[in-house]
Structure 1
Amino acid sequence: MGDGPILLNHVGCYGYEDSLFDCYHHGVGVHHCSHDEDAGAVCYPDARLVNGDNPSEGRLEVYYDGVWGTVCDHSWYSANSYVVCRSLGFPGPIGHVNNAFFGQGTGPILLNHVTCMGDEGSIFDCSHNGVGNNHCYHYDDIGIRCLQNVRLVNGTTPAEGEGRLEVFHGGSWGTVCDHSWGMDEADVVCRSLGYSSAEVVFYNAYFGEGSGDILLNHVYCTGYESSIFYCSHDGVGVNHCNHSDDVGIRCANDGVTAEPITTTGT
């Protein structure tokens, strides 16, 4: 539930308005509601990466007027990749690949000669030739590799693939609470980082307490999701944890032997 004033009630939109305030409503501040009636919405991005080995890489596709299409690689700049990666919730780009590296798409080629400054919220806010205006073929489809939005930090040397789990959301890194954490959840993290599976889950800030926000709690995965954000959880930032509950993981890695765990999660 929110706090402060309830500003809109009985909102009716046709779907083509530029702002919610352009829709029909009873007047700003006019209502007979309480905060247990606060509306919510789930929004879908206007870009996606497909056909990669993990959610952070793939052929770039954009959504326009009810259709997904590809983007031409002509004159692609690193700032373009930055805008795409950040709009999809990743910290930034690793780089881009030309000539349909992740396979040729189908359907329309929607954007060409994209030029971003780097601070745009969407690729459609960047300069381009106009939606659908191009002289490209699908063998020109651009692909992007973004930095992962999960990382393992503060692991012990010489072990690799272990540490306190941190996730990226809303422009910053935060930790994950160990409540109800198990091997299915750890497997999802490790596979998204390029490992075959997880070996051990560490509870009670085994790799040290993090700082900043605790972003996820009560994470439940089937073990087959491609990203921890696709698993069930209480909601980003919703928790009743302390950093003493920060979860840690060791991923399967040749030459690393799992240590026994003497503590358990809540």
Structure 2
Amino acid sequence: LYGGNSSNEGQLLVKYDNTWTTVHSDHFSTKNQAVVCRQLGFRHGGEKFSKKSIYKNSPFWLILKCNGKEQNVGQCNSIKTQPFSPFDRGVSVFIKCYEESDPELQMTVSLEGDGKVIVHRQGKTWEICSSRWSDYQGNSLWDDVTATTVCRMLNKSNGTAKHLPFASQEFQVTANNIQQVYCPRGASHLGDCFYGRLDFENSMLSPWAPGNCNEAVMHSTYRGGVQCSN
């Protein structure tokens, strides 16, 4: 991780053919991010965002697609190169891998009557998006594995994901919504999960900045809920 304020954050560079290479944010999922933080030796979750590259010596873009289970990026099932374009200089991947002192490790959760998950972080609350736009392949990342992580925070053993219809006339861009969250199997706290944004226009913002759950069809969106069991 290059150019960050500490060793756990910065621009993602990958050594490819013995050359340090910048990584394109196009289709860079939260599962990719999990592999990067794991390879770097970090034990918790993290977050990703995009902005203009600060590394000037990369000969091309690297495009990564991982399933989240790999131990290093060299094991990812798709690693491709892409020539630079003058139109995409602002789409480099930046990553922060969480450490014990980060606020995400102190997050708590509560459930509303219908099972909707409310995440409490630094005195504010977030809901979780669960629409079909949750990842770039059209699969919702709000699944039973992530639901189980929430239930473990509530001292339950297992969780089943619920996709709760949400219809609102409010301007959702002002709401605190977790747009993308991926929890590796076995995670017992949301601080061990990985976060990103959906909307490409605001991909330079933190995953914790306000945003829509479904910028394409705002009236047909869903929120993440759980059914916990022992």
TM-score per shorter chain, which class? 0.3 to 0.5
TM-score (norm 1): 0.34
Higher relative contact order (CA 8 A, sep 6+): 2
| Bigger fraction of residues in strand | 2
Pick the structure with greater CA Rg.
1
TM-score (norm 2): 0.39
